[in-house]
Amino acid sequence: MSVPSPTVSGGPVEFDPYSNDFFESPYETYRRMRDEAPVYYSEKYDFYALTRYEDVASALKDFETYSSTKGITLDMVKADEIEVPPGYIIMMDPPAHERMRKLVNRVFTPRAVTALEPMVRETIDSFVKRLDPASFDAVADFSALFPVEIITTMLGVPAADRQQLRLWLDQGLARQPGSMGPSQEGLDAIMKTFGYYYELIQQRRTEPQDDMITRLIDAAIVEDGESRRLDDIEIAAFANLLGGAGAETVTKLIGNAVVAFAENPDQWQKLSDDRSKIPAAVEELLRFEGPTQYQVRTSTGDVTLHGVTIPSGSAVLLINGSATRDERVFPDPDVFNIDRERKFAFNLSFGYGIHSCLGAALARMEGRIALDALLDLIPRYEVDRAGLRRVNMTNVCGWSNVPVRAL
């Protein structure tokens, strides 16, 4: 079904998730989509997009109508044939999703996450000590480095290999403007990462250690009334997914935070005056410019919203980055305010429903500790805007370079 883009005095609204407009700042486009095309159709890429809070939140919860099983990126969903490896929990619907989720949930219980705090704090502090507060890059020298150390330490990756996994991850997520899929270099990087974890699993089978991969090897799931162990492909897929999500989310969160606070120094001063506001600041950062901008689903039947029918089998982008700027739910949504009342809606930046992020509590902890450390390091600072560089990545919004100077 072809749905024409609405035409207004400024011309038809156009949304391209692989364009410089998206990579740089899609928020004005999001506003127009919410107002003019709440069910947007892209003829170029043949996908639909939902942008209003109520629509996105409802769709994220409705796994029966919006399925995850065909993939999590648009190039995967649109591929003629794709074989999703077993073990990618983010690409499962119930009941398979429930079985895997139960298996890994205990790693991220509130008690388990709280127990990680000394390791998280020590890791972040070790990177802060290397920074020259007079001038450093808040991403390249800091937020790009510590999150991957934390999540891969949990997985059991040797220290010498952790930053290489980050570089492969960045290559796999990178997209050239106008290109839906990864480059050959990106595909190679994805395969190298998967292969790395597969080999590490072989090592842990002969030399178990106190790490997550060893625990996954020892774990069992109940399937069709019978207990079975996870195979190496399933464990490698889960490690690959968790390692990637755990590294990218906090990297982008902190980079976005440094820029947002530089543009709103009164908010940084509020945080400096009262550090009990740090948790609320993290929530506002996730709302204002979250690291992930959209989730991809596939419609399992015809869906009609706002007078537009999304046909069965369509790719659907659920744009949480727009939903959390929806003025129908958030007063003054384009204002960054760490004292914003939180009673209006659930924060969608870590997903919603069955696919809410497993590591959300850990990511929030890392964000809180990192902001606290930066408040000590640079109580007053400015960003060198000439040196700012955005990432060009699928699903992700953030910076690769944020140079700062202490004042």
Which pTM was predicted? 0.91
Q: What is the pLDDT of residues 223-242, one digit of tens each?
A: 777 778 888 988 898 888 88
Q: Is residue 76 included in any domain, yes or no?
A: yes
Q: What is the pLDDT of residues 350-366, one digit of tens each?
A: 888 888 888 888 999 99
Q: Give the whole-angstrom CA distance, residue 121 versus residue 222.
A: 36
Closest by CA to 360, choosing from 113, 139, 149, 143, is 113
At 292, is the secondary structure helix, strand, or coil?
Answer: strand
Strands 315-318 and 47-50 come out as: parallel
Mean pLDDT of 18-46: 94
Tokens 């929030």 belong to which residue? 364
Q: Is residue 215 included in any domain, yes or no?
A: yes
Q: Give the whole-angstrom CA distance, residue 319 versus residue 292.
A: 9
Q: Give the whole-angstrom CA distance, residue 373 versus residue 143.
A: 12
Q: How confident is the model at residue 397 (pLDDT cuts 50, 70, 90)?
A: confident
Which 8-state DSSP code applies to residue 359?
T
Q: Is residue 10 included in any domain, yes or no?
A: no
Q: Is residue 1 included in any domain, yes or no?
A: no
Tell me which range, 1-10, 75-84, 243-252, is most confidently predicted by mean pLDDT: 243-252
Q: Give the whole-angstrom CA distance, residue 31 versus residue 25.
A: 12
Strand extents, DSSP E, 278-353: 295-299, 303-305, 308-310, 315-318
Q: Give the whole-angstrom CA distance, residue 349 versus residue 297.
A: 16
Q: How many domains does the chain have?
A: 1
Amino acid 87: pLDDT: 64
Mean pLDDT of 143-162: 95
Q: What is the mean pLDDT of the chain?
A: 89
Q: Is residue 6 included in any domain, yes or no?
A: no
What is the DSSP track for 148-201?
A: HHHHHHHHT--GGGHHHHHHHHHHHHB--TT-SS--HHHHHHHHHHHHHHHHHH
Closest by CA to 302, choosing from 10, 1, 8, is 1
Q: What is the enclosing helix (H) or strand (E) of 362? A: helix 360-377
At 229, is the secondary structure helix, strand, or coil?
Answer: strand
Stretch among 80-84, 147-151, 211-215 having the lowest mean pLDDT: 80-84
Closest by CA to 364, choosing from 144, 153, 147, 162, is 147
Q: Is residue 13 included in any domain, yes or no?
A: no
Q: What is the pLDDT of residues 5-16, one digit of tens each?
A: 443 346 889 999
Cis upstream peptide for 147 (omega within 30°):
no
Q: What is the pLDDT of residues 39-67, one digit of tens each?
A: 999 999 999 999 999 999 999 999 999 99
Which 8-state DSSP code applies to residue 6?
P
Amino acid 344: pLDDT: 60
Q: What is the enclosing helix (H) or strand (E) of 131? A: none
- The answer to whether 150 and 246 are in contact (CB under 8 A) is yes
Q: Give the whole-angstrom CA distance, residue 187 versus residue 83.
A: 15
Q: What is the pLDDT of residues 311-361, one digit of tens each?
A: 999 999 999 999 999 999 999 999 999 999 876 667 898 888 888 888 888
Residue 72's Cα: distance from chain center in Å? 11
Write out 80-123 in H/E/C secondary structure.
Answer: CCCCCCCCCHHHCCCCHHHHHHHHHHHHHCHHHHHHCHHHHHHH
Q: Is residue 372 included in any domain, yes or no?
A: yes
Domain that holds residue 336: 20-406
Q: Is residue 390 included in any domain, yes or no?
A: yes
Amino acid 226: pLDDT: 78
Which pair of structure tokens corresponds to residue 6?
């609405």
Q: Give the whole-angstrom CA distance, residue 221 versus residue 211.
A: 19
Q: What is the pLDDT of residues 297-315, one digit of tens each?
A: 999 999 999 999 999 999 9
CATH code of the domain containing 60 = 1.10.630.10
